[in-house]
């Protein structure tokens, strides 16, 4: 199973992006705390969304600043993150 | 009781705002953006909703550039202390509130552009006051003393010409007079949420245009970049240290939606017409002096004095004997009183709000008439 993980700068950005995806992107998105291994300087927020929403995300930012985009790959109990920014 | 102290705050709140405040206090008293659990995220969503409705209301391109504060004074301090340093120069007007004058006076050198006796500012005078080291132009949108409107569109164009950021204090106009930050070239907009916007007390905010960096007045926990000893540079986190008043901010969103539904032009016209009528009726009473513009470029605030009575005493008589709440004295804006010629004892200020009526206006006029007759 794979999902997109979009790391943003603030919870406000995350909330806006999730709302935009739900409203216009026809896909469910969830705001989560960024996994520690991707967090960099500490706590941050990300949006977890379906893989198919990548194009929508890249084309409909409307001022939302994105730090990184990963594909999250879950193999057994392990989670791997592939940077596609 | 008749409440005419709307320039201080709008005491009567719409029921949708009271409902939102109660509901969100009950269901959403959460620390927004601290943690990834549903409660925290629900709060964050509520705050983001209010940013979006405000951005649409003021034509702000990016809602995330709006930071919430407890009032306009805090927002103005945040902008002034966050941009100006000792070596800088600022331009302000003689109609400013102390929430502009005092932080500027503490921070840097400045020029006060004089308004005329009616509180009218000539934009060309602002241009003449600009120096090579002018880093910020700051004006109120309307005088909190006599209601005269400052030509912020014209001043915004001057600031554009010189590439100087323009900070507007909209405490007396947000929710009453249309503000378009893009057309008016407003770089920073300080607003109170609890006055014309009809939100709860303890709400306000600051819009900071993209590309302008503010050195934060307060630093601390933002819920992000916890390992970093420096404050995050991301807006609004950079200006959002500490727990936000989530239920009140969400109720402010309900208030702005309410104002939008009514239509700001209708509110503007209603309050201005009441003020024009009050101005005219008070001017016809012997022994009463009225300040500011009689009509036109003004909001719903009227300043006056009854000859030979101290303004505070007049306000006290109106309160005690007639149940009318107005404010005497200097309204935290002595320079504005000096400008309009009421600096000896201040003035009585009556300010109409969304729920004010003609009946209240007539009650005030009758009361002033009686008090004036008793002094002669």
B161-211 tens-digit pLDDT: 999 999 999 999 999 999 999 999 999 999 999 999 999 999 999 999 999
Measured between alpha carbons, how far is B267 from B273 in angstroms, rounded to an integer? 10
Best of B41, B68, B227, B241 to disrupt the A interface (most A CBs within 10 Å) is: B41
- Residues B41, A44: C-beta atoms closer than 8 Å: no
Sheet order of strands, A45-49 included: A29-33, A45-49, A2-8, A66-75, A78-83
- Residues B33, A43: C-beta atoms closer than 8 Å: no
Q: Among B204, B200, B207, which Cα is nearest to B251's?
A: B200
A32-45 tens-digit pLDDT: 989 888 877 888 89
The token duo for B233 is 């540079």
- Residues B232, A32: C-beta atoms closer than 8 Å: no
Measured between alpha carbons, how far is B274 from B259 in angstroms, rounded to an integer? 19
Which of the pair, A56 or B94, is modelled with greater confidence? B94
Tell me the nearest-neighbour CA distance from A80 into chain B, angstroms: 20
- Residues A45, B232: C-beta atoms closer than 8 Å: no
- Residues B52, A16: C-beta atoms closer than 8 Å: yes
Residue among A10, A15, A43 minimizing CB distance to B234:
A10
Q: What is the mean pLDDT of residues A58-73?
A: 85
The token duo for B45 is 């969503």
For the cut 60, the answer to whether the pLDDT of residue B280 exceeds it is: yes
- Residues B48, A41: C-beta atoms closer than 8 Å: no
Residue B129 has φ and ψ, to the nearest 5°, of -85, -10
Measured between alpha carbons, how far is B256 from B244 in angstroms, rounded to an integer? 19
Tell me the nearest-neighbour CA distance from A67 into chain B, angstroms: 11
Residues 6+ apart with CB under 8 A from B261: none
- Answer positive or negative: Cα dihedral of B50, B56, B57, B59: positive
Interchain CB contact of A21 with B (< 8 Å): no
Measured between alpha carbons, how far is B166 from B159 in angstroms, rounded to an integer? 6
Residues 6+ apart with CB under 8 A from B327: B5, B7, B8, B315, B348, B349
How many Cα atoms occupy the beta-carbon half-sphere of A66 within 13 Å?
21
Q: What is the mean pLDDT of residues A29-57?
A: 87
* DSSP-derived 3-state class of residue B275: helix
Q: Tell me the Cα Rg of chain A.
A: 12
Residue among A32, A42, A65 minimizing CB distance to B226:
A42
Tell me the nearest-neighbour CA distance from A39 into chain B, angstroms: 8
The token duo for B151 is 């030509």
Site of tokens 């709060």: B43
- Residues B224, A11: C-beta atoms closer than 8 Å: yes
Residue among B62, B63, B234 minimizing CB distance to A9:
B234
B304-357 tens-digit pLDDT: 999 989 999 999 999 999 999 999 999 999 999 999 999 998 999 999 999 999
Which of the pair, A52 or B98, is modelled with greater confidence? B98
Measured between alpha carbons, how far is B147 from B351 in angstroms, rounded to an integer? 9
Q: Which residue of A has its CA nearest to B237?
A: A10
Q: Quote the pLDDT of residue A1.
A: 54
Q: How many residues does chain A have?
A: 85
Mean pLDDT of all residues in chain B? 96
Measured between alpha carbons, how far is B194 from B175 in angstroms, rounded to an integer? 10
Q: Quote the pLDDT of residue A2.
A: 67
For the cut 80, the answer to whether the pLDDT of residue B376 exceeds it is: no
- Residues A16, B236: C-beta atoms closer than 8 Å: no
Q: Could you give the angle at which helices B72-83 and B98-107 cross, rounded to 10 degrees?
A: 20
Residue among A10, A31, A65 minimizing CB distance to B41:
A31
For the cut 60, the answer to whether the pLDDT of residue B98 exceeds it is: yes
H helical segments located in B9-97: 15-27, 38-58, 72-83
Tell me the nearest-neighbour CA distance from B59 into chain A, angstroms: 14
| Angstrom distances, CA of residue B79 to CA of A57, B76, B98, B135, B280 | 33, 5, 15, 12, 38
Q: Which residues pair with A70 in a beta bridge?
A: A5, A83
Interchain CB contact of A1 with B (< 8 Å): no
Q: What is the mean pLDDT of residues B21-32?
A: 92
- Residues B41, A13: C-beta atoms closer than 8 Å: no
Interchain CB contact of A68 with B (< 8 Å): no
B230-278 tens-digit pLDDT: 999 999 999 999 999 999 999 999 999 999 999 999 999 999 999 999 9
Work out how many CB contacts closer than 8 A connect A with B.
76
- Residues B36, A16: C-beta atoms closer than 8 Å: no
The answer to whether A43 and B31 have CB atoms below 8 angstroms apart is no
For the cut 80, the answer to whether the pLDDT of residue A60 exceeds it is: no
Q: Among B76, B74, B177, which Cα is nearest to B136's?
A: B76
A64 pLDDT tier (thresholds 50, 70, 90): confident
- Residues B33, A10: C-beta atoms closer than 8 Å: yes
Q: Could you give the angle at which helices B246-262 and B264-283 cross, rounded to 10 degrees?
A: 80
- Answer positive or negative: Cα dihedral of B22, B26, B27, B30: positive
Residue B95 has φ and ψ, to the nearest 5°, of -110, 10
- Residues B41, A64: C-beta atoms closer than 8 Å: no
């Amino acid at each position: 199973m794979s999902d997109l993980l979009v790391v943003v700068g603030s919870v406000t950005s995350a909330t806006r992006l999730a709302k935009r995806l739900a409203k216009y992107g026809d896909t469910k998105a969830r705001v989560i705390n960024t996994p520690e291994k991707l967090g960099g300087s500490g706590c941050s927020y990300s949006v977890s969304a379906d893989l198919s929403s990548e194009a929508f995300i890249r084309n409909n930012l409307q001022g939302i600043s994105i730090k990184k985009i990963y594909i999250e790959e879950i193999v057994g109990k392990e989670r791997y993150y592939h940077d596609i920014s | 009781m008749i409440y005419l102290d709307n320039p201080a705050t709008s005491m009567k709140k719409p029921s949708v705002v009271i409902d939102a405040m109660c509901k969100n206090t009950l269901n959403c008293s959460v620390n927004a953006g601290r943690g990834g659990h549903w409660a925290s995220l629900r709060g964050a969503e509520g705050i983001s909703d209010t940013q979006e409705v405000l951005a649409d209301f003021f034509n702000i391109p990016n809602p995330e550039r709006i930071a919430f504060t407890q009032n306009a004074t805090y927002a103005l301090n945040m902008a002034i202390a966050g941009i100006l340093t000792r070596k800088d120069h600022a331009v302000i007007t003689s109609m400013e509130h102390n929430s502009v004058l005092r932080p500027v006076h503490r921070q840097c050198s400045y020029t006060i552009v004089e308004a005329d006796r009616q509180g009218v500012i000539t934009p060309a005078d602002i241009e003449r006051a600009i120096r090579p080291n002018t880093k910020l132009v700051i004006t109120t949108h309307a005088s909190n003393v006599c209601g005269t409107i400052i030509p912020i569109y014209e001043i915004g164009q001057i600031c554009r010409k010189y590439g100087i950021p323009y900070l507007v204090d909209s405490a007396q106009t947000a929710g009453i007079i249309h503000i378009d930050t893009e057309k008016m070239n407003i770089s920073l907009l300080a607003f109170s949420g609890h006055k014309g916007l009809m939100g709860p007390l303890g709400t306000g905010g600051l819009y900071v245009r993209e590309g302008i960096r503010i050195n934060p007045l307060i630093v601390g926990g933002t819920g992000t970049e916890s390992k970093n000893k420096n404050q995050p540079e991301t807006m609004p986190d950079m200006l959002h240290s500490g727990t936000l008043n989530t239920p009140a901010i969400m109720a402010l969103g309900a208030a702005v939606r309410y104002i939008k539904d009514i239509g700001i032009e209708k509110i503007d016209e209603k309050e201005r017409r009441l003020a024009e009528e009050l101005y005219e009726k008070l001017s016809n009473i012997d022994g009463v002096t009225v300040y500011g513009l009689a009509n036109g470029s003004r909001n719903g605030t009227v300043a006056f004095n009854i000859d030979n009575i101290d303004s505070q005493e007049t306000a006290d008589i109106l309160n005690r004997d007639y149940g009318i709440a107005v404010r005497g004295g200097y309204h935290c804006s002595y320079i504005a009183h000096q400008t309009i010629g009421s600096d000896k004892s201040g003035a009585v200020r009556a300010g109409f709000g969304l729920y004010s009526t003609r009946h209240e206006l007539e009650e005030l006029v009758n009361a002033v008439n009686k008090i004036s007759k008793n002094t002669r």
